[in-house]
């Protein structure tokens, strides 16, 4: 089911607030052949501009992280471990260097379209992790800097917000390199008991 698109104002807010508010929202991908997939966002992580040593942008802009310092609502996509991609949406104002990582989503429409990019044994393995999500959505670095507010290829819709008592917060995954304060920060959030959350 289609709902209104999220506007730039949605992303032009505190990054933790955006990460929390993105739960239950809809990520929409229109593929080059015109087919459309809709997925409910179930897991996110906030990478904040306040000296967060887990944040790629924490040491200032580089060629790779430049989109994070641009306008909110644009994609920041990077390659990880030489094999996978991670999709982030830029938050807060120009020059801040912040984004939300989309870690997992529940397919609602176009499941068969997602499976054609990533055949899978168990249904929950399709999009329950940031690398797997990008494979299913066919997102790579060509999307970095892409404006997801005006896009006809990749955008967000309102969906339905999740009540507080259904939201869990934990430390973020895979950031052992970060300072203890940042390792412990509860900046990963997900929908409780949702089977599509990463394992």
Partner DNA sequence: TCGCCGATTAAA
Partner DNA sequence: TTAATCGGCGAA
Residue span binding DNA (CB under 7 A) among the ranges 17-25, 30-38, 122-130, 189-197? 122-130
Could you tell me the smallest distance in angstroms from the CB atom of residue 6 to DNA? 19
Separation of alpha carbons 46 and 171, rounded Å = 10
H or E, element range at 9: helix 8-11
Q: Is 15 in the site for DNA (CB under 7 A)?
A: no
- Nearer to DNA among residue 122 and residue 152 (C-beta): 122
Strand partners, 26: 40, 157
Q: Which of 43, 45, 106, 182 binds DNA (CB under 7 A)?
A: 45
Could you tell me the smallest distance in angstroms from the CB atom of residue 39 to DNA? 14
Residue span binding DNA (CB under 7 A) among the ranges 2-10, 56-64, 108-116, 157-165? 56-64
Map tokens 């599509």 to a residue. Answer: 196
Q: Residue 71 phi/psi, 5° resolution? A: -65, 150
Give the count of beta carbons closer than 10 Å to the beta carbon of residue 138.
20
Residues between 127 and 186 that touch DNA (CB under 7 A) = 129-133, 141, 172-177
| Residues 68, 11 contacting (CB under 8 angstroms) | no
- Nearer to DNA among residue 21 and residue 52 (C-beta): 52
């Amino acid at each position: 089911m289609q709902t209104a698109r999220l506007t730039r104002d949605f992303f032009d807010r505190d990054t933790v607030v955006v990460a929390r508010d993105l739960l239950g929202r809809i990520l929409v991908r229109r593929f080059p052949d015109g087919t459309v997939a809709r997925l409910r966002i179930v897991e996110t992580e906030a990478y904040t501009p306040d000296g967060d040593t887990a944040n790629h942008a924490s040491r200032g802009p580089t060629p790779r992280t430049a989109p994070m310092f641009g306008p909110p609502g644009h994609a920041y996509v990077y390659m990880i471990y030489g094999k996978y991609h991670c999709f982030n949406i830029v938050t807060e104002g120009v020059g801040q260097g912040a984004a939300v990582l989309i870690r997992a989503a529940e397919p609602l429409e176009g499941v068969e379209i997602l499976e054609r990019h990533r055949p899978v044994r168990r249904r929950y393995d399709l999009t329950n992790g940031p690398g797997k999500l990008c494979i299913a959505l066919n997102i790579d670095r060509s999307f970095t800097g892409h404006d997801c507010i005006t896009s006809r290829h990749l955008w967000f819709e309102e969906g339905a917000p999740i009540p507080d008592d259904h939201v869990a917060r934990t430390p973020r995954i895979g950031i052992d390199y970060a300072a203890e304060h940042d390792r412990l920060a509860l900046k990963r959030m997900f929908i409780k008991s949702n089977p599509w959350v990463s394992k």
